[in-house]
Amino acid sequence: MSDEDYCTIAEAARPPKADGPPYADCVLCREATEYPESYKGITLCPVCEWQEAQRTACSG
């Protein structure tokens, strides 16, 4: 098994970017996200999205 196989992260489905307000709230911190309010599903603001990526990143 190569390092590339071990650290492969599946491409997560992301909601479509909103063209403008109203924006959906982040499910973690309740700040506005870049996603439309009409999106049904988990939405994260850019800060929480980055923190979640850091938590789930391959540490090798």
- Identify the helix (H) or strand (E) that includes residue 27: none
Which amino acid is present at 31?
E
Give pLDDT tens digits for 2-16: 555 545 444 456 667
pLDDT-based confidence at residue 59 (cuts at 50, 70, 90): low
Bridge partners (DSSP) of residue 25 are: 32
- What average pLDDT does this structure show over 45-58? 89
Only one residue has tokens 């599903």, namely 41
Count of Cβ atoms closer than 10 Å to residue 9 Cβ: 9
Amino acid of residue 42: I
Prediction pTM value: 0.61
